[in-house]
Amino acid sequence: MAWFQKSIRLTSKPRGIHLVTSEIVRQLADLAGFRIGLAHIFIQHTSASLALNENADPTVRLDMEAHFNQMVPENMPYYIHTYEGADDMPAHIKAAMIGPSLTIPISNGRLNLGTWQGIYLCEHRDRAGGRRLVVTLHGEG
């Protein structure tokens, strides 16, 4: 069994939910060397998250963003952690709800995603920089 780990950076994105599957895979040339295994993708931030969902219809991402903004609104009077702006505490809550990582099977050198599945970067801040991911591959060549 082989192990491989790489830190990658996603380009800066505005607040919203973004399909980033291709951006991740482009930075993982070593993925092709795995016949079978698992890819673990972890985001090193507390105000953004990763999810797996619909890759074809962009309105899904718009609806998800709208729904999370309704579930976790800004400027709630009980928020104490407001030093970095009105979007900061809601960003932390959304990131905790959605989660920091994904585990995806690898088959024949590719992420074995379903036909309509894609990796989402859920950017919860109004103005964030590029996001760092740690990708760990484990399997056989």
Q: Cα dihedral angle (137, 25, 14, 75), rounded to 10 degrees?
A: -30
How far is it, in rounded angstroms, from Cα 120 to Cα 55?
9
Classified as helix, coil or strand, 108 is coil
Read off the pTM: 0.97
Q: Which of 22, 23, 121, 130 is nearest to 65 (CA)?
A: 121
- The per-residue pLDDT for 90 is 98
15: its two tokens: 């607040």
Mean per-residue pLDDT, 57-66: 98
| Mean pLDDT score across all residues of the chain | 97
- The per-residue pLDDT for 125 is 97
Largest CA distance in the chain: 54
From residue 121, alpha-carbon distances to 32, 53, 79 in Å are 23, 11, 25
- The per-residue pLDDT for 121 is 98
- The per-residue pLDDT for 94 is 98
Kindly report, residue by residue over 67-108, the tens digit of the pLDDT: 999 999 999 999 999 999 999 999 999 999 999 999 999 999
Kindly report, residue by residue over 16-48, the tens digit of the pLDDT: 999 999 999 999 999 999 999 999 999 999 999
Contact in structure between 27 and 126 (CB atoms under 8 Å): no
Q: How many helices (H) and strands (E) does the chain have?
A: 3, 8
- The per-residue pLDDT for 99 is 98
